[in-house]
A and B are shown apart, each in its own frame.
Chain A
Amino acid sequence: MWHSLLALIALCVFIVPTVYAQELGTSSVDFPYTGNRTAVWVVAQLHILFAAFILGAPIFVVIAEWLGYRKQDPRYDRMAREITKVTVILFSMTAVTGGLFIFVLLAAYPQFTTWFINQFYVVFAILYPALFIVETILMYAYLYTWDVWKGEKKGRHIALGIVLNLVCLLILFVINGPTSFMNTPPKAEGISPQDFLAAATLWDKIANQSWFPLSLHRIDGNIAFSGFIAGMIAAYMYMGSKTQEERAYYDWMGFVAIWIAVGGSLLQPFTGLLLAYEMCEYDFSFCPYMMADQLSMFFEVQGMMIGLLFLAINYYSWLSVRRIEGAEKVRMTILAPIVLVVVLPVTMWVMNTYWIPDPRSLAFLLPLVLSPFLLGRVVPMTVSARTVIKIGFIVMLVSDAVWLTPSGFMATGSDMPDELKLPEGWDFLASMPTKLSAIIVLVFVTVVNYVLYNRTIKQGTILWGKIDFVAQFVLIFLAFTSTWIMGLMGAVRSLVKKYFHVYGLVSDFTVESFTPTLSYSAWWISGITVSFLVIVTLAALVALRPSVSKVREPEVGPVPVGAK
């Protein structure tokens, strides 16, 4: 119950400074070493990472529990339970960092924070704490009813998990109201932002232009993120396993976690694009600021990291195929490599000609990407699975090169000399349609590899626990990369407000109101990432290590090495 106590303390920390700040007036605390903005940044980002995990993990866990129930496979149930144990510990960390976040925010920006809390008083004082308490109760109930509601009562336990997820989703939507409000406060033509805000209801403030896309982006992001973190936990446990049986289980867990994460990751670029689209619709000056000005090189790094993430996902898939006995005999229609080779140039042409929302782009692309799956049986020629995967890697590398090509190597667009710009005739490489094409191709290659993998496991036998040891480093790398990208995009979402606390409404008059350099940001993002992952690692060791040393739990049967 010490977790609940911590959560309670965090809530007190949340409420007390609120009252205190009202009396403080305008004076603020000067945080040493970091400065005020970086102090808020670090704590906020840490809180968001923990929150993302505890909101994403229940989705992951219930899916796993349901799969286990449906397939009558105890491994899913064990994984779901282990991740829930880690989630409960990290739940306390979320509460602690949340309390700390409010404390730092009030200390650093007392006037703004007081104003902000007043704008969302019902959210901060009633809705959010109430939902958080309900979530806490449900989370503990979910964990402690695991053994009680099993067998025939399993459905009841899954239903409780679904209720927990609904509350988690509600929390996400509620708290995204104030978050997105800072970027896109409601406005109307012909009325000053201040006048509009004075007449706006709470719902107007919550349901601002970027609220829904941000929430969508965070939902699939949280699923992907919790999957990658679960993969990292599996990797550590695999490394620490003493028996082949344990290794087989954690190899399987890493594999399942990554594929759930990939499911979320495949949607990420598109919901991210939707968010960017809505923000640019709100105020077009966001767009050049992100793509051509101060934040352009941040997006260059994002491209690098996502490119590496997809390469690593597919490398893990390759390693998974290699441990399947009989994989060398698996073949695929020759249409697959042909489509892989032509998909990038065709998509680039289609996207540059029929840009979104023109439906003609789909009319061209859908038949192309579906042809290997629909026409594969008609075309008799085949190639080996290994060849298809290797061609896929070449296509991914070319797509990465396209994605990473900026319009010019300069941090700010205003002073871009011609010698650093892409020459005329090549500038299509830097256009948004081309970037989207590269992302579509990365997703397509990953889907092809997934289909291939499924075909391979149907024809061969998986040797669980026999995966190349390097796969565990790939799992750690994926967790690191996804956390780092979240840190980077968190910074971008906040920086895009430029010199405002709330865009166009409340200016930030402090000396720290400017875009930090990419290098400075990278140091802090790396620090936050490492801190978060170290805490998660410790939480996993605390939650799971004793169960390894004990005699195996009776409900989990030994995993046959050759099981599917």
Chain B
Amino acid sequence: MFKKFGIALLVGGAVVAFARSQEVPSDFQLLWAIIALIGAMVFMLLDAKPLATMSGGKSFLAVAAFWILIVTVCIAGASLLPQSDPEDERGKISKLLEKQRATSQQGKADELIARAKALDEQVKALENRLKGLGGSQVATAIPSPAGDKSPAATSGGGGAAGDVMKVGEEQWQLQECYNCHKLRGEGGKKRGPELDNIGSLLTVEEIQQKIMDPKSFMAEGYDKEWTKGIMPNKFKDLMDPKEMLALATWLGSFKNTSINTPKPIKKN
């Protein structure tokens, strides 16, 4: 048993040392070391002495303990991995759905319900305050019901008219263009071209056309991606014309000639 553990430590150590020499981040080293240890456990199990047959209460307890162990390992394993930040995504989604929400039936209903709930809370707060004061004093400071969520405070896009570039950059983030395109050295997985010099190659109108109809231009060397229609044809439904223009204007400002943004070829 100790021999196998020793071999696992040696193998794990060698893998970690090699990974370290190649400047592989420590998280990967840890992952591979854990797998080496799991390997040791597997080989210990392979040659372990047979487990004696249990019966009755003993096997019931063993099964219960085994269940607790595997549930704990599953939850702990998943919890130790990096976790996304729901607040971050929530913020994005609420911006994306803001306009749609306001115009939808449900949005209107939700607003009414929220207002009713707020009023209800206000009344309850008043009642409590009056009860607490024995009715002799008048409530002077009633907390504003959900008051910190006034439309002005939550709109975020209030200054959009004055700052096209800001809206454009915001759309880049909201539509998650960075998942396919690299810009300013960030994002991209080679699925779409790097865009730091796109402003030198396309006009704002042309960029807008490409976003609206992804088949209108093809980046040189991206024939496969263009043929397969990798760039989704949905942004005209997700952005209004102003937002799309803002994104195109913002992208058009990138004219870094040191970056080799592939030449766009007009298609249709």
Question: Do the beta carbons of B82 and A410 come within 8 Å of each other?
Answer: yes
Cβ of A284 and Cβ of B27 under 8 Å apart? no
Is A516's CB under 8 angstroms from B86's CB? yes
Closest A residue by C-beta to B91: A514
**Interface range on chain B: under 10, 10 to 19, 20 to 34, or 35 or more?**
35 or more
Find B191's partner among A240, A284, A322 (CB 8 Å cutoff).
A284
Most chain A CB neighbours (cut-off 10 Å) among B42, B228, B230: B42
Write the B70-105 contact mask toward A (1 if CB under 8 angstroms, else 0): 110011011101111110111001001100110011
The reply to whether B51 and A288 contact each other, CB–CB distance below 8 Å, is: no
- Using CB atoms, name the residue of chain B closest to A516: B86
A423 & B89 in contact (Cβ 8 Å cutoff): no
Chain B residues numbered 139-170 whose CB sits less than 8 Å from any CB in chain A: none
Given contacts A111-B106, A284-B230, contact A519 B79 (CB under 8 A): yes
Q: In the complex, identify which listed stretch (B18-26, B130-138, B245-253, B256-264) lies at the interface while the others stay far away.
A: B18-26
- Which of A90-98, A133-141, A293-301 contacts its partner? A293-301
Q: Which residues of B contact A132 (CB under 8 A)?
A: none
Chain B's interface: helix, strand, loop or mixed, by majority?
helix
CA distance A26 to B51 in the complex (A): 59
Is A288 a contact partner of B74 (Cβ separation < 8 A)? Answer: no
Binds B, one of A212-220, A259-267, A476-484: A476-484
* Chain B residue, CB-CB nearest to A291: B189
A405 at the interface (CB under 8 A from B): yes
Taking the complex as formed, is A509 at the interface, i.e. its CB lies under 8 A from any CB of chain B? yes
- The answer to whether A514 touches B52, judged by C-beta atoms less than 8 angstroms apart, is no
Q: Is the CB of B84 within 8 A of A26?
A: no
Chain B 36-67, CB-CB to A under 8 Å as 1, else 0, gives 10110011011010111111000100110011
Query: How far is it, in angstroms, between the C-alpha of A355 and the C-alpha of B151 when the chains are bound?
Result: 51
Q: Are A423 and B23 neighbours in the complex by a CB distance under 8 Å?
A: yes
Contact status of A315 and B45, CB under 8 A, knowing A288-B191, A480-B70, A504-B234: yes
Selected interface stretch from A99-107, A148-156, A174-182, A467-475: A467-475
Give, as a whole number of angstroms, the nearest-CB distance from B3 to chain A: 14
Of A405, A470, A514, A529, most B-chain CB atoms within 10 Å: A514
- Interface stretch (choices B118-126, B173-181, B200-208): B173-181
Q: Would you call the interface of chain A mostly helix, strand, loop, or mixed? A: helix
Contact present for B90 and A514 (CB under 8 Å)? yes
The residue on A at minimum CB distance from B41 is: A311
A318 contacts across to B, CB distance below 8 A: 46
Contact B31 A401 (CB under 8 A): yes
Asked if A412 CB lies within 8 Å of chain B CBs, one says yes
Task: Assess A292 versus B24: contact at CB under 8 Å? Given A239-B55, A509-B106, A515-B89.
Answer: no
Looking at the complex, which one of B50, B52, B71, B230 makes contact with A530 (CB distance below 8 Å)? B71
A404 with B234, Cβ < 8 A, contacts A413-B187, A426-B22, A526-B74 known: no
- Point out the residues of chain A lying under 8 angstroms from B38, CB to CB: 397, 400
Is B50 a contact partner of A294 (Cβ separation < 8 A)?
no
Q: How far is the CA of A507 from the CA of B83 in the complex (A)?
A: 25
Contact with B along A369-402 (1 / 0, CB 8 A): 0000000000000000000001001100100110
Task: Report Cα–Cα, A401/B23, bound state, in Å.
Answer: 18
Given A473-B66, A476-B63, are A311 and B42 neighbors across the interface (CB < 8 Å)?
yes
| Given A239-B54, A284-B191, A423-B23, A400:B67 Cβ within 8 A | no
Docked CA distance A484–B67 (Å): 12
**B10 at the binding interface (Cβ < 8 Å):** no
- Smallest CB gap from A25: residue in B: B109
What's the least CB distance linking B207 to chain A, in Å?
A: 19
Which of chain B's residues have a CB closer than 8 A to the CB of A523?
A: 75
Contact partner of B97 among A27, A507, A518, A529, CB < 8 A?
Answer: A507
Interface residues of A in 135-192 (CB under 8 A from B): 189, 192
Measured between C-beta atoms, what is the minimum distance from B15 to chain A in Å? Answer: 8
CA distance A521 to B39 in the complex (A): 28
Q: Are A499 and B96 in contact (CB under 8 A)?
A: yes
Please indicate the chain A residues that have their CB under 8 angstroms from the CB of B55 in the complex. 239-240
Interface centre among A289, A322, A468 (most CB of B within 10 A): A468
Cα A404 to Cα B179 in complex, Å, equals 21
* CB closest residue in chain B, given A282: B232
Give A131 to B232 CA distance when docked, in angstroms: 38
Nearest A residue (CB) for B73: A308
Check A423 against B22 for contact (C-beta < 8 Å).
yes
Residue B237, interface by CB 8 Å: yes
A522-B79 in contact (CB<8A): yes
* Closest CB in chain A relative to B142 CB, distance in Å: 25
- Apart from A192-B237, A470-B45, A519-B79, 11 more pairs, CB < 8 Å: A26-B105, A26-B110, A283-B234, A285-B179, A390-B46, A401-B31, A401-B35, A421-B25, A426-B22, A477-B70, A518-B79
List 5 A-B pairs, Cβ < 8 Å: A393-B42, A422-B24, A469-B52, A519-B75, A526-B75
Which residues of A are in contact with B by a Cβ distance under 8 Å?
A: 25-27, 111, 189, 192-193, 236, 239-240, 247, 281, 283-285, 288-289, 292-294, 297, 300-301, 304-305, 311, 315, 318, 322, 390, 393-394, 397, 400-401, 404-405, 407-414, 419-423, 425-426, 468-470, 473, 476-477, 480-481, 484, 498-499, 504, 507, 509, 511, 513-519, 521-523, 525-526, 529-530
| 8 closest Cβ pairs, A-B complex | A522-B78, A288-B179, A411-B84, A26-B109, A519-B79, A409-B27, A468-B50, A469-B51
